[in-house]
Amino acid sequence: MNSNQLPINEYSKFQSTYINALQSVELLEELEISLHDFIRFIQNIPMDKFDYRYAEGKWTIKDIIQHVIDTERIFSYRALRISRNDKTPLPGFEENDYAENTEANKRSIQDLLTELSAVRHATLLMFKSFSKDQLLKIGICSDSEVSVRAIGFIIIGHQKHHQKVFEERYL
């Protein structure tokens, strides 16, 4: 399935930002390709930029990488629960609370990228394991309906969104 074939009733208006940012991409292929593109992009950032904040109270590049990791874990967990027919509505999460409690800036970039890679590989293996029926399942997350397959595209779009933020505000 390509991202441009995803019906708009499978994700929320807020999540459309991430879905619409994608070109016509295939889910499993892009989960893998986008990881390698992101890592290559991060490795080309000058070392003195990783702890830079473009304004008071804004996150550093390290903070944002950790945010991408945390968000992918949360979204993957949501996809797993929905794919297994768990009908429990899943709550949102407060990203700023997470960011304040990571200590990402004490970590090396290599450590963060290694963790991101491990998380993405787990996500990719999980999505590869889903049947067509499981990918179509819809659950409630943050008071909105979302399909398992939409969550996969949201993970990709969220990462790409933050790469664009790096380009526009940090470099």
Distance between CA atoms of residues 89 and 139, nearest Å: 7
Report the pLDDT value the prediction gives residue 36, as an integer from 0 to 100: 97
Phi-psi region of 150 (alpha: psi -120 to 50; beta: other; left: phi over 0): alpha
Amino acid letter, 43: Q
Kindly calculate the radius of gyration of the chain based on its CA atoms and give it in whole angstroms: 16
State how many domains the chain has.
Answer: 1
Distance between CA atoms of residues 12 and 15, nearest Å: 5
Query: Please, what is the angle between helix 109-129 and helix 61-83, to 10°?
Result: 20
DSSP state of 170: I
Domain that holds residue 155: 3-170
> Percentage of the chain surpassing pLDDT 70?
100
Report the pLDDT value the prediction gives residue 147, as an integer from 0 to 100: 98
Answering whether pTM is above 0.75, one says yes
Collect all residues with Cβ–Cβ distance below 8 Å to 168 and sequence separation of at least 6.
Answer: none
Amino acid letter, 7: P
CATH code where residue 155 lies: 1.20.120.450
| Residue 23 pLDDT level (bands cut at 50, 70, 90) | confident
Whether 157 and 26 have beta carbons less than 8 Å apart is answered as no
Distance between CA atoms of residues 151 and 65, nearest Å: 19
Q: What is the DSSP string of 92-140?
A: ---HHHHHTTS-GGGS-HHHHHHHHHHHHHHHHHHHHH--HHHHH-EEE
Average predicted confidence (pLDDT) for the chain: 95
| Residue 44 pLDDT level (bands cut at 50, 70, 90) | very high
| Residue 149 pLDDT level (bands cut at 50, 70, 90) | very high
Amino acid letter, 30: E
Distance between CA atoms of residues 171 and 52, nearest Å: 10
pLDDT at 84 over 80: yes
> Percentage of the chain surpassing pLDDT 90?
93
Reported as a single tens digit per residue, the pLDDT across 58-83 is 999 999 999 999 999 999 999 999 99
